[in-house]
Amino acid sequence: MKTDRRRAREFAMQGLYQWQLTRTDPAVIARQLAEARGFDKIDAAYFRDLLEGAVAAAEELEREIAPLLDRELARLSPVERSILLLAGYELAHHPEVPFRVVVNEAVELAKTYGGTDGYRFVNGVLDKLAARLREAEVKAVS
């Protein structure tokens, strides 16, 4: 069963995907997505924070993510890039969510929406990003 937070992440990923393609204001995207089927079952405040926060922090997050990639950032699929921005924002700005939860949720999104082995790529990048952004937490559970 999907939690309201997992659904919020799905909608935020969809919003980030749309933002990448259209550069539409995230508030407009949020209003459009609020009309979608199933939106009433999400943590709407968390969704808005993830979408608007990831867009606002996109340049900073991309600078953190780019050195961890095996290809140029521009060559990522919009789905992979959306998931990495979403999870990167969550790692950087939601320390109350354990890093393993963030990584696992991102991997599940990649399995559902990404390419065949996209989830492995996402997992590898986020493991490295978590080690950088949450070094003490990662060391504590290793």
Contacts of 76 (CB under 8 A, 6+ apart): 69, 84
Residue where the block lists tokens 């060559």 = 75
Put simply, whether the predicted model's pTM sits higher than 0.85 gets the answer: yes
Tell me the per-residue pLDDT of 75-129, one tens digit each, with 9 for 90 and over: 999 999 999 999 999 999 999 999 999 999 999 999 999 988 999 999 999 999 9
What span, in angstroms and rounded, lies between the C-alpha atoms of 85 and 50? 9
What span, in angstroms and rounded, lies between the C-alpha atoms of 54 and 20? 11
Burial of 49: CB neighbours in 10 Å, binned 0-12, 13-18, 19+: middle
Task: Domains for the chain: give ranges and CATH numbers.
Answer: 4-141 (1.10.940.10)
Q: What is the pLDDT of residue 142?
A: 76
Tell me the per-residue pLDDT of 35-89, one tens digit each, with 9 for 90 and over: 999 999 999 999 999 999 999 999 999 999 999 999 999 999 999 999 999 999 9
Tokens of 59: 């340049």
Question: If you ran DSSP here, which 8-state letter would residue 3 be given?
Answer: -
